[in-house]
């Protein structure tokens, strides 16, 4: 009974924590530019994050080792250090963007000055992270992030062309007007893929397993949470693409603001839709701000070998606590300069693609290693899929920055 409840909550938490500001913007714009035709990327990315999330969770449950232990052991000190720096830079950018997104949402609800909300948001996150235990934080934000379901209902009530949407799940390249448009399509495919497989999700998920004191008996629990939770979460991304295709594409709008996303629920549900959309996004972005910030502290502490974890009191893991506090404040300072959160997250998502192969290779090597994992090592199919995704991500990583430059960040 207790186990069933844990699985149920775990699934809902994984689902509610799936979308953050970058994925929201890229999904809606993918729909607004290319209709249903990029839906297959969501499917591809979701299977990828399930495969690697499951492996990272399984390694955490069986050996008690989080991702950055593995990166340092398997990639070596120098390459590992490079990955750490890049990963935490991306975490910093993402965290800053999420804080900015939260401040924009608060402004849309109350209309005080933007920077006041950045400060209030920062204080709120600091208090939450300082006082609440790990599971509380994870579940509160995950479960309240489920208010994002309003976007799913919106997508359904906007009456999409289901057969056409279903066809979008088969990898395809639509007929476009100019060669440049094909590059924009490729850019969106890479960005969408990356936004679904953002590296912090794996770091955070595996460290979370250790925070929750997983043991080898939790391997099935891990498998169910990852599979069901991430598939349900990806339905949110699907809903956002459908909303883009049904609402923004015919209106010739390419939404650049979090508030624009709320217009979908507004059209379908009026003011209630607005309230739910703003609240849902608040908890989704807020959860991501906390996760990226904690993830940065996990990564650093795990790489250099400090005591880490929210299960320890701040006094028991002082350098870890200092790391996340510093990270949060740096992110706050970065976004106070007035940079646009949406542009910041676009860059962080594109740079993420480059670190994904470096993150995933050590996970795959350890998960496949019988001497470490014993009976829990990868079966042949997990290895095949793992290598398949590693190749795809390496190709995506090589294309990411050239595409960013050539297409002016997807603008054309």
Partner 1 sequence: MNQQEYLDIARQVLDRQLIDSNNIPCGKADDLEVECGPGGRLKMTAILVGPDARARRLPGLLRTLARRFLGDKVVRVPWGEVSVITSQIKLKSRASELGLDGAERRAARLIRQIPGA
Partner 2 sequence: MRRATQHGRWLQSAVALLIIGGLGFWFTAEVNKPLGAEDLKIAVSELRSHAAEGRLIAEQALSARLTATFFQTQTSMLRDKAGAVVKDLNSTAPRAGLEEELSRVKAFAERISADLASLSSSFDDRQEMSRLQEDLDTVFRQALEMEESLKH
Please report, as ranges, the residues that interact with partner 1 according to CB under 8 A: 63-65, 69, 72-73, 76-78, 80-81, 130-131, 303-308, 313-315, 318-319, 321-322, 372
What is the number of helices (H) and of strands (E) in the chain? 19, 0
Subset of residues 76 to 135 that bind partner 2, contact rule: CB under 8 A: 104, 107-111
CB of 54 to partner 1, least distance (A): 19
CA distance 80 to 69: 10
Residues in CB range of 361: below 8 A, 6 or more apart: 74, 75, 390
Which of partner 2, partner 1, none does 246 bind, CB closer than 5 to 8 A by kind?
none
| 236, 352, 356, 409 from 401: Cα distances, Å | 27, 11, 14, 9
- Of positions 89, 158, 224, 257, contacts partner 2 by CB under 8 A: 257
- Interaction residues for partner 2, span 393-412 (CB under 8 A): 408, 411-412
Question: Of 132 and 257, which has the nearer Cβ to partner 2?
Answer: 257
Task: Please state the φ and ψ torsions of residue 177, each to the nearest 5 degrees.
Answer: -70, -45
CA distance 44 to 171: 9
**148, two tokens:** 């994002």
Closest to partner 1 by CB, 131 vs 380, is 131
Minimum distance, C-beta of residue 162 to partner 2, in the bound complex (Å) = 25
Quick one: 6 or 254, whose CB is closer to partner 2?
Answer: 254
Residue 65 binds: one of partner 1, partner 2, none (C-beta under 5 to 8 A by kind)? partner 1
Q: Which member of 164, 172, 251, 384 binds partner 2 (CB under 8 A)?
A: 251
DSSP letter at 315 equals: G
Helix ranges restricted to H, 39-113: 39-63, 67-75, 77-110
Residues 273-292 that bind partner 2 (CB under 8 A): 274, 278
255: contact with partner 2 by CB under 8 A: yes
What are the tokens at 101?
A: 């997104």
The half-sphere exposure of 371 on its side-chain side, counting CA atoms within 13 A, is 1
Q: How far is the CB of 410 from partner 2 (least distance, A)?
A: 10
For the bound state, the minimum distance from the C-beta of residue 401 to partner 2, rounded and expressed in Å, comes to 12
Nearest to residue 44, comparing CAs of 258, 181, 195?
195
Residue 137: in which H helix or E strand, if any?
helix 134-145
Residue 252 in contact with partner 2, rule: CB under 8 A: yes
Interface with partner 2 by CB under 8 A: which residues? 104, 107-111, 177-178, 251-257, 259-260, 262-263, 266-267, 270-271, 274, 278, 408, 411-412
């Amino acid at each position: 009974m207790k186990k069933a409840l844990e699985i149920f909550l775990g699934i809902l938490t994984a689902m509610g924590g799936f979308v953050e500001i970058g994925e929201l913007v890229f999904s809606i714009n993918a729909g607004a530019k290319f209709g249903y035709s990029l839906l297959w990327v969501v499917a591809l990315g979701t299977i990828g994050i399930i495969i690697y999330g499951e492996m990272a969770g399984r390694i955490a449950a069986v050996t008690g080792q989080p991702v950055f232990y593995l990166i340092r052991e398997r990639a070596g000190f120098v390459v590992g250090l490079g990955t750490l720096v890049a990963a935490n830079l991306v975490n910093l950018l993402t965290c800053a963007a999420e804080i900015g997104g939260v401040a924009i949402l608060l402004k849309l609800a109350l209309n005080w000055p933007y920077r006041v909300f950045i400060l209030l948001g920062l204080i709120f996150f600091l208090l939450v992270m300082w006082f609440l235990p790990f599971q509380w934080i994870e579940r509160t934000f995950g479960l309240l992030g489920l208010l994002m379901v309003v976007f799913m209902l919106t997508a359904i009530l906007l009456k999409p062309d289901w057969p056409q949407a279903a066809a979008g799940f088969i990898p395809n390249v639509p007929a476009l007007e100019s060669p440049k448009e094909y590059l924009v399509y490729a850019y969106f495919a890479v960005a969408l893929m990356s936004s679904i497989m953002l590296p912090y999700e794996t770091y955070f998920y595996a460290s979370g397993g250790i925070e929750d004191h997983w043991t080898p008996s939790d391997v099935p629990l891990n498998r169910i949470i990852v599979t069901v939770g991430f598939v349900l979460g990806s339905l949110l991304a699907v809903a956002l693409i459908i909303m883009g295709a049904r609402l923004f594409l015919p209106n010739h709008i390419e939404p650049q603001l979090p508030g624009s996303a709320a217009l979908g629920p507004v059209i379908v549900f009026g003011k209630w839709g607005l309230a739910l959309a703003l609240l849902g996004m608040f908890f989704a972005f807020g959860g991501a701000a906390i996760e990226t910030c904690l993830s940065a502290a996990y990564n650093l502490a795990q790489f250099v070998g400090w005591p880490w974890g929210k299960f320890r009191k701040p006094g028991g893991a002082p350098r870890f606590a200092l790391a996340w506090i510093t990270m949060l404040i740096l992110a706050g300072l970065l976004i106070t300069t007035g940079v646009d959160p949406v542009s910041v997250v676009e860059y962080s998502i594109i740079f993420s693609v480059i670190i994904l192969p470096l993150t995933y290779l050590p996970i795959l090597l350890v998960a496949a290693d019988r001497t470490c994992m014993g009976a829990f090592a990868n079966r042949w199919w997990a290895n095949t899929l793992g290598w398949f995704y590693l190749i795809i991500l390496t190709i995506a990583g090589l294309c990411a920055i050239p595409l960013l430059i050539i297409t002016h960040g997807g603008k054309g």
